[in-house]
Amino acid sequence: MDLAVWAFSWIDEYYYFVLALFTIIGLYGFKHKKIFIAALLLAALLSPIAKNFYAVDRPCAGMAECPDSYGFPSIHSSVAGVFAVASMGTPWLFFFLPAALLIAGSRVLLGVHTVSQAAAGLAFGAAVYFLVWLAVNRFRHSKFVKKHGLLE
């Protein structure tokens, strides 16, 4: 178990570097780049709000190495969910879907989230992407969507 914890701890240590790298890949490899960026930003902004709204403790609450924020939903998993859904219909799905599952699983293995918190994060990120996509498609004939090429 210690080896697995050590192996997954890099996600926390290099999170922003990996996030930037994955985002660059997404900007080149995903079909709906602008929807992807909007969903990524929304998931990153709304996940902490959801955490404070639900106020569900982490499984490690009270321990020395535990983050001081609430645990539901997992922000790492929310962001990973956006990447997994955004990669649908591209060859990158075969990378980002397993990566999203690994990230969610690592949060549980590290003891900072429960399975339900990590799964809720994946679902939250996927839902945010789909809602942004639905909103843009609902107004696909509007001048704003056409002018800014939101479906390109």
Could you list the mean pLDDT of each consecutive 10-residue stretch along the chain, which spans 152 residues? 56 76 85 90 87 69 64 82 94 92 82 82 94 84 71 64
Whether the Cβ atoms of residue 74 and residue 113 lie closer than 8 Å to each other = yes
Cα–Cα distances in angstroms (integers) from residue 104 to residues 7, 75, 79, in the given order? 14, 10, 10
Q: What is the pLDDT of residue 146?
A: 72
Q: What is the pLDDT of residue 141?
A: 73
pTM of the model: 0.80
- Contacts of residue 17, defined as CB under 8 A and 6 or more positions apart, other chains included, come to none
Q: How far apart are CA 106 and CA 5, in angstroms?
A: 8
Q: What is the pLDDT of residue 151?
A: 64
Q: Can you give 54-78 as a three-state secondary structure string?
A: HCCCCCCCCCCCCCCCCCCCCHHHH
Cα–Cα distances in angstroms (integers) from residue 79 to residues 83, 101, 143, in the given order? 7, 12, 30
Q: How far apart are CA 7 and CA 2, in angstroms?
A: 9
Q: What is the pLDDT of residue 16?
A: 81
Q: How far apart are CA 10 and CA 29, in angstroms?
A: 25
Q: What is the pLDDT of residue 80?
A: 92
Q: What is the pLDDT of residue 105?
A: 82
